[in-house]
Amino acid sequence: MNKRALLIIQIVIGLAVAIGLVRLMDSRKIDLQSQFAEDPLYVKPATARRMSLAFNGLAADWYWMRSLQYVGGKIVAFEDTHEGSVNFGSLADLDLRLLPSILRVSTTLDPQFLAPYEYGAMILPELNSDYAIALLESGVAENPSEWRLYQHLGYVYWQRHEYQKASDVYATGGKIPGAPPWMAALSARMKAEGGSRDAARETYRHLYDSSTDQTVKDMVTKQLMRIDSLDQIEAIRKLLVSFREKNGRCVSSWTEINIELRSTGFKIDSMTNAPLDPSDTPYRLTEKGCNVDLSQYTGVPRR
């Protein structure tokens, strides 16, 4: 009986201690998450590779997951302290200072793991495109037969408006066995009209089709929406200018050019007669009806 009583007492004490620790950890949860999010990587990529021994692939996956958690945590923190959602066209607002290091550790541990290269190609240019180029060039060196890495490297150069370099990279990647014919076609387009919206639209569509990462696909979809909105805004401005030239004044409401908008192919909001942007949010008139802009509630990134 004494042994049973002693055992029960030990169990009760253990439970009490466990409950106390859980409460303490919950009270410090936010501070710990914040500290973890900004902790520097004390282990260099090469050292991490030696320490992981035969488990390089598993360790690379862990760092890859950490990179996703890091960005996700930043997005949640941003949305908790700002109105609206994160604009995926301006991720520099998230202060992702550790992301290049985390991705580099993952690719050093497993140089044939393509997902971190692809993710870096989309995210890192928002921080510093040099980071993205360094990451992708290391990927090309380790995986010279992977045409997708050339595609992503060409994409970064295209973003930097270095169209000749983008053309050269696409041309090189297009010669790899198994590369799709459009790689060579993009090379020619970069030379001819690298800065055009049509070239941008084609670049993003190929990125979307060739990617297996849903996060990348979502970001590309946002950029395609932005390009479509630029075309739409340009068309609306032409209608506003035409109205002003005919009537000597700017429009007082969307109703005055409703017929023209419909004939141009715009989707129209049934309540306001305003044309809808690619996120199905009504555009807004500015400058007393002389100009147009995206709504503050739009899902279309501004850059």
Q: In terms of residue numbers, what domain contains 43?
A: 30-220
How confident is the model at residue 31, as a pLDDT? 44
Contact 241, 251 (CB under 8 A): no
Counting Cβ atoms within 10 Å, is residue 284 exposed (0-12), middle (13-18) or buried (19+)? middle
**Are 115 and 253 members of one domain?**
no
Nearest to 128 by CA among 163, 164, 160, 161: 160
How confident is the model at residue 100, as a pLDDT? 87
Confidence of residue 90 (pLDDT cuts 50, 70, 90): low
**Are 78 and 212 members of one domain?**
yes
- 13 occurs within a structural domain: no
**Are 239 and 208 members of one domain?**
no
Confidence of residue 293 (pLDDT cuts 50, 70, 90): very high
How confident is the model at residue 97, as a pLDDT? 83
Confidence of residue 50 (pLDDT cuts 50, 70, 90): very low
**Which amino acid is residue 24, in one-letter code?**
L
- 6 occurs within a structural domain: no
How many domains are contained in the chain?
A: 2
Tell me the average pLDDT of the chain: 83
Tokens of 154: 């060409």
* Average pLDDT of span 69-96: 72
CA 90 and chain centroid, separation: 9
- 3 occurs within a structural domain: no
